[in-house]
Amino acid sequence: MFADKKDKGMIGNQQNRITEGTTIVGDFTSTSGVRIDGSIEGTVKTAAKVVVGEKGSIKGTLQCDHADIEGKVSGTIHVSETLTLRASAHIEGDVVAGKLSIEPGATFNATCVMKGNVKNMPKRDNDSSEGDEKQKKIL
């Protein structure tokens, strides 16, 4: 009885691991998190967190909720929440992220689009036509 509840709870907390020395060529899809210390050539897709270790690499597409990168990613990165680049990270390609955090020392050679709430800037007095009219009256 208790074992069933524990097993059901663990399904969402499991993490896949691609160890150093392992190379995957093709697409990788998972519902749980992934730690990559090896290399993947293809697409990595998950609705969880992806960690690319210092010796890990992805050549292709990374699509996930959160990513923490210490290694190399070359291609397209789509992170719906937070993309964190550690000092040893090397990124090349196109990035779409909700939030971006880059430590000093990281290499970031990419085009980047931030997806999220766009804040409206308050209009300043001198930006309005009324301000121009006031200046004309003074002169």
Chain segment 38-65, per-residue pLDDT in tens: 999 999 999 999 999 999 999 999 999 9
Chain segment 80-126, per-residue pLDDT in tens: 999 999 999 999 999 999 999 999 999 999 999 998 654 555 665 55
For residue 128, being part of any structural domain is answered with no
Tally of domains in the chain: 1
For residue 75, being part of any structural domain is answered with yes
State both tokens at 117.
């709430």
For residue 109, being part of any structural domain is answered with yes
For residue 44, being part of any structural domain is answered with yes
Identity of the residue numbered 44: V
Domain extent for 85: 17-116
For residue 138, being part of any structural domain is answered with no
Residue where the block lists tokens 């001198």: 126
For residue 127, being part of any structural domain is answered with no
- What residues have CB less than 8 Å from 20, skipping those under 6 apart? 37, 38, 53, 55, 56
Q: Could you tell me the pTM of the whole model?
A: 0.74
CA distance linking residue 33 with residue 43, whole number of Å:
15
